[in-house]
Amino acid sequence: MLDSDLALWDRFDDAAAGFAGQPNGGPHFTLLGPLEVRKDGEDHAPTAPKVLQVLAMLLMRPGKVVQGDLIIKELWAGDPPRGGRTTMQTHVWQLRRYIEANGFASDGDQIIVTRAPGYLLRVDPGQVDVAVFQRLAREGRALFDRQHYAEAAIVLRKALDLWGGPPLANVTCGPVLSVYATDLEEQRRNTQRLRIHAEIEAGMYHDLIGELRSLIAANPLDEGLNGQLMRVLNLSGRRIEALDLYRQFRARLSGELGLEPCNELQELHHVLLSDQSHR
């Protein structure tokens, strides 16, 4: 790795470490895995399911107002019980008391602010792992677009390192948080694909074969992953294996869905048949 690459790695490693529980002026919140509230290296997340659910809703938009009606929809799937709004307000009150009990603020009202038409969680977005992940993903994309592939791969890896499992793994998700978690998973997949693409373009493809095979085992009909593995095999001098992978994928796609591979995969197949280099 070049000295410039090491400096870039250190820069983003410091940014991620600063998020992940170092004393940067308050607790740090993780959503990319179990919802945790990290302070002094320990998790202080509330244990009451509804209170945890309300906290997750507020962390979706740190520093911005989340509508009370949206919280009610999440808590009771759009069918609140009689007195549902009062019950929701009680959960917010419990969350404020939790903030005080854990020493995050002397007054919970300073952190969870009532602001029409709902509530605002007064924390810096940099205290929430989702915001850090998204910032690193954007910076990695910008480096990729400028064809700085090795640097892009470093930054995108740091973004992915923030993930600790399925998003909101310990939260009982209603209709709002379920959509949010699905969107986060899609962002992770896109970032992962871009990181692999960046490593291929940077010539860092030799160690990708095992990773791509593992990803395909979990997503056998994913055309993008199969295409990336075909490219990596070809670049590693294993063109016959790449062609065999295409034949197997085409047979499975046809047998299970009655479809042909997408145009990009078909074009890659033709390139491999003609024994041309392809990235």
Residues 200-229: pLDDT tens digits?
999 998 889 999 999 999 999 999 999 999
Which two structure tokens, joined as six digits, stand for 16? 């991620």
| Cβ neighbours for 57, distance < 8 A, ≥ 6 positions apart | 66, 70, 71, 74, 176, 177
User: Alpha-carbon distance 111 to 105, whole Å?
Assistant: 7
Enter the pTM of the model.
0.88
Cis ω on the peptide bond leading into residue 117 (within 30° of 0)?
yes
Three-state SS sequence of 22-73: CCCCCCEEECCCCCEEEECCEECCCCCHHHHHHHHHHHHCCCCEEEHHHHHH
Residue 39 pairs with which residues in a beta bridge?
42
User: Alpha-carbon distance 164 to 240, whole Å?
Assistant: 37
Which two structure tokens, joined as six digits, stand for 274? 């003609």
Give residue 1's pLDDT: 44
Angle (CA) 42 44 46, round 5°? 155
CB contact at 8 A, 29 and 58 = no
Residue 28 pairs with which residues in a beta bridge?
38
30-63 pLDDT per residue, tens: 999 999 999 999 999 999 999 999 999 999 999 9
Give residue 133's pLDDT: 98
Which of 238-247, 257-266, 270-279 has the lowest average pLDDT?
A: 270-279
99-155 pLDDT per residue, tens: 999 999 999 999 999 999 999 999 999 999 999 999 999 999 999 999 999 999 999
